[in-house]
Amino acid sequence: MKNSGLARAARSTRGAPKTSGDAVAAAIIANGGSPHRLATRNAPKLDAAELKQLLRTMLVIRAFETRTTELFHSGLVKGTAHSSVGQEAVAAGAGYPLLRSDFIATHHRGHGHCIAKGADVSRMMAELLGRKDGICGGLGGSMHVADIGLNIIGANGIVGASMGLGIGAALAAKQRMSTDAGVAIFGDGGANEGIFHEALNMAAIWKLPIVFLCENNQYGLSTSFLESTAGGSVSARAAGYGVPGETIDGNDVVAVYAAVDEAIARARAGEGPTLIEAITYRHGDHSMRANLPGYREDEEVERWKAMDPINRCVSMMMERGALTDDEYEALVAETDAEIERAVEFARNSPEPDLESLAPAVSAPFKSTGVVEPAPGTRELTYLEALKEAMAQEMERDERVFVIGEDVGPIGGTFGVTRGLFQRFGKDRLMNTPISEMGIAGAAVGSAVCGRRPIAEIQIFDFVTFMMDMIVNQAAKLRYMLGGSPTVPVVFRGPQGGGIRLAAQHSQSLEAWFAHVPGLVVVAPSTPYDAKGLLIASIRDDNPVMFLEHKMLYLGQAAPVPETPYEIPLGKADVKREGTDVTVIATQVMVERALQAADMLARENISVEVIDPRTLRPLDMDCFIRSVKKTHRCVVVHEAWRTGGLGGEIAAQINERAFDWLDAPVERLGAMEVPMPYNDKLERAVIPNQNAIADAVRRVCYR
C-alpha cells in the first residue's frame, strides 16, 4: 500500500481559527471520557481525493482488524492480538502528514498505525499467522509488527516503550541535520509510566522533532482512565514541560490530521515536541484473548459505537458532496478484497524453521583480520585508555556520540569522558537529566535509526532503571523484527566494590546480562584490553554491556598502542601460562589471580590464568583447551556465586571436559551479602589473592 503522506508534509494548519467542539466534548464526557474541553479547528480544506484516501485507510484498518478477529477465533492467529476497531481515525489522521523518511513508534495495538504508515498488509497478515513471509519473519507477531525500511521502528509489547524509542529516533533525525520528524504513539495507560515524563522532558530540553500522541481509548486494560489519571487530562501535562499540548476528538479523522500536521510542521521547523491527546474508544475488549468479566456498561459501548469514526467520516463526506453511496460501496469492496488477498498470501506462506532463529538474535561479529598489536612502551591508565578509545572512534565515525548524566564539562563521575566535551562539543557529548530510562531509550532508538551511541551509566547499579530498554528492546528488537535491523549501542560504566560505596553502589551484575540472548557482555581487566575491546564494541552491530570495574580506574598505567585497534569480541586471553591448574578470573580478579599464581609458584604449583574478557559469548574453547592440559580449574569473580557466571563456566567445563578433570571445578565469589560500608568488612567479603591461592590448593591437593 502506497504511503498516503508523501504529498502532505508541507501542509500546515498552524494558527487556524478554533470552532466550538462542545457537542463532541459533551458526548465524550457523558460516556466516561476526559472531563475537559477539546481543542478544535476549522476543518482543513481537503479535497475529495484526499478525504477518500483518509477514508480508504480507515477501511483497510477496519477490514484488517475484523478479519484478524475471525482468524483468531478460528485458530489461525495464535497467542493474542489487540484490535483497534473504533480507533481508526487516530491512525489514519496521524499517518497522513508523514513522509516515508519520518518515523513512527507505536504500542501493542499498533496494526492500524503501521498500515497508515504504508506497511504491506499481506506481510502483516503473514506475521500475525507466524509465517516466514511475515513482515518480521514470523518471529515478532501481532504486538511487534515493524518495518525499518519504512521507519516503522516497532509496535511494542512493553507499555510506554514507544516514547523512549521515539526520542532516540528523533535524536537521530536531529543529528543527521535532516528535516525528518516522527510520532510516538502510546495509550492512556502509557501516559502514567515514568518514561512518559523522562521522554517528554528530554525532548523538550533538546527540542527534538517528535509528536507525542496519546491514543486515549478510556481504559488501561480494564481500569478506567478517570480512575487512573490525576487531573483528568494527559495533554495538560505538557504545560509542565513548556511544550504545546491539546486534547482532540480522536474519532474525527480530519481533526486528528489537522493536529498532527501542525505538530509535525513545528517539529520540522526545529520548534520541538508537541503532546496531543486523542480521545477515542475501542469497540472490543482489551485483547482477543482477554475474555475478561464485564467492566464496561453495554450502554456506554453502544453510545461510543454511535460515534464510529468511519461512519462520521462517510457522513461528513456525503454532506460535502465528496462521496456517493456507490463510491463508498466500491471502496468497501476494494478494501475487503485487499484484505482477503492478504489472508490468502498469509495462508500460503511457509512456517519459519529453527535454522532461522539464531541468525536473527545477533548480527555477526565483524572480523577485522588484524592481529592484535604489540602493547609497545607508551603507557596509559585504564581510564585514559577508555577515553582514548572513545575519542578515536568519535573522530573516525560521526555517528558515534556519548550520552549520559554529567558526561559534559566535568567528564562524568569518575572522569572517563573528561576533556571530550571541550573537544567534540555538546552535540557529541550529550549531557542528560537524571533520566536512566530516557537515556536508555534515546540510545536504543537512535541506534536502530543508524547512530552509534555510547550510553554511560553513571553508577552501574542504576542499570536497574534501564532494564526494559536493555533486555526487552535492545536485546530483542533485531530478533522480533526478523533479523533485519542492527542495534549498535554500547552501555558502559563502573561496577563493583572496593571504594566503600556500600550496598546500592557496589554490585557486580554481569550475570544478569550474560543470561540474555542478543546482548554482548564485555569486561576488560587491563588498559590494553580496555581500549581494544571498547573500540571493537563501538564498531559492533550488537548491543554491548561494557563493564568497567571501579578499582581498575585506580590502577597503574600499562603499555597501550597509540593507533586504534580492535580486540575481537568473544576471545579470551591467557594472561599466564601454567600446567597444574587453570584459574579463570574476571575484571579486578585477574590481577589478584596473577598475584596468587606468583605466591603458588614458590610452592611448585604452576597456575594458568585466563581472562575471558568477553562474558557473552564465552570463549569456552580456550577454557577447555587449558583444562584438558591442567586437569583442574578454579573460576573466580567478585559477583556472588549463586546464579553467577562461575556456575555457567563450571557447568560447561563439566559437560565438555569431565573426563579430563582430576577434581571438581571450584567457584569463588563474594560472600552472599550486600556490600558492607565498613572498609574492613568490604575487603573481607570480596575474594583476594589469598582466597584464590587457597582455592587452588584445595583443587590441587584434594
Mean pLDDT of the chain: 93
Q: Which three cell numbers stand for residue 275?
A: 503532546
* 373, containing H or E segment: none
**Alpha-carbon distances of 642 from 541, 637, 651, rounded to whole Å:** 31, 12, 13
pLDDT at 16 over 90: no
pLDDT at 220 over 60: yes
Distance of CA 353 to the CA centre of its chain: 26
Q: Which three cell numbers stand for residue 45?
A: 480544506
Q: Which of 82, 108, 113, 505 is catalytic?
A: 505
CA 181, CA 42: separation in Å to the nearest integer?
25
* 245, containing H or E segment: strand 245-249
Distance of CA 496 to the CA centre of its chain: 25
What tens digit of pLDDT does each residue of 449-482 get?
999 999 999 999 999 999 999 999 999 999 999 9
pLDDT at 238 over 60: yes
Q: Where are the alpha helices (DSSP H) in 10-47?
A: 22-30
> What pLDDT band is residue 289 in, cutting at 50, 70 and 90?
confident
Q: Phi, psi (5° rounding) for residue 291?
A: 50, 45
Residue closest to 470 by CA, chosen among 452, 492, 432, 444: 444
pTM for this prediction? 0.93
Q: How would you classify the pairing of strands 666-670 and 607-611? A: unpaired
> What pLDDT band is residue 8 in, cutting at 50, 70 and 90?
very low
Residue closest to 637 by CA, chosen among 544, 566, 547, 563: 547
What tens digit of pLDDT does each residue of 580-630 get?
999 999 999 999 999 999 999 999 999 999 999 999 999 999 999 999 999
Amino acid type, 686:
I
DSSP state of 468: I
So what's the pLDDT on residue 292? 78
Q: How would you classify the pairing of strands 490-495 and 452-456? A: parallel
pLDDT at 2 over 60: no
Q: Which three cell numbers stand for residue 129?
A: 499467522
Length of the chain counted residue by residue: 702
Residue 390's SS3 state is: helix
> What pLDDT band is residue 294 in, cutting at 50, 70 and 90?
confident
> What pLDDT band is residue 293 in, cutting at 50, 70 and 90?
confident
pLDDT at 24 over 60: no
So what's the pLDDT on residue 33? 43
pLDDT at 634 over 80: yes
Q: Phi, psi (5° rounding) for residue 493?
A: 165, 175
Assign domain 22-289+305-347 to its CATH architecture. 3-Layer(aba) Sandwich (3.40)
DSSP state of 235: G
Active site residue 562: no
CA 572, CA 561: separation in Å to the nearest integer?
19
> What pLDDT band is residue 372 in, cutting at 50, 70 and 90?
confident
Angle at 261 between CA 207 and CA 14, to 5 degrees: 80
What tens digit of pLDDT does each residue of 245-277 get?
999 999 999 999 999 999 999 999 999 999 999
So what's the pLDDT on residue 324? 97
- Asked whether 34 and 219 are in contact (CB, 8 A), the reply is no
Same fold, 22-289+305-347 and 573-701: yes
Q: Which of 193, 436, 608, 666 is catalytic?
A: 436
Residue 210's SS3 state is: strand
Q: How would you classify the pairing of strands 666-670 and 558-559? A: unpaired
- Asked whether 243 and 274 are in contact (CB, 8 A), the reply is yes
Q: Which three cell numbers stand for residue 296?
A: 464496561
What tens digit of pLDDT does each residue of 494-553 get?
999 999 999 999 999 999 999 999 999 999 999 999 999 999 999 999 999 999 999 999
Q: Indicate the angle between helix axes 382-396 and 527-539, nearest 10 degrees.
A: 30
CA 165, CA 623: separation in Å to the nearest integer?
39
Decide yes or no: CATH 3.30.430.20 for domain 573-701.
no
> What pLDDT band is residue 43 in, cutting at 50, 70 and 90?
low
Active site residue 107: no
Assign domain 379-559 to its CATH architecture. 3-Layer(aba) Sandwich (3.40)
Q: What share of the chain is helix, strand, coil (3-state, %, to 5)?
A: 45, 15, 40
pLDDT at 138 over 90: yes
- The lowest-confidence range among 20-24, 125-129, 198-202, 356-360 is 20-24
- Which residues are CB-neighbours of 55 under 8 A, at least 6 positions away? 253, 310, 313, 314, 317, 323, 331
Higher pLDDT, residue 93 or 21: 93
So what's the pLDDT on residue 296? 92
What tens digit of pLDDT does each residue of 410-453 get?
999 999 999 999 999 999 999 999 999 999 999 999 999 999 99
- Asked whether 164 and 438 are in contact (CB, 8 A), the reply is yes
So what's the pLDDT on residue 6? 28
Q: How would you classify the pairing of strands 219-220 and 223-224? A: antiparallel
- Which residues are CB-neighbours of 427 under 8 A, at least 6 positions away? 175, 401
Return the domain boundaries, the chain. 22-289+305-347, 379-559, 573-701
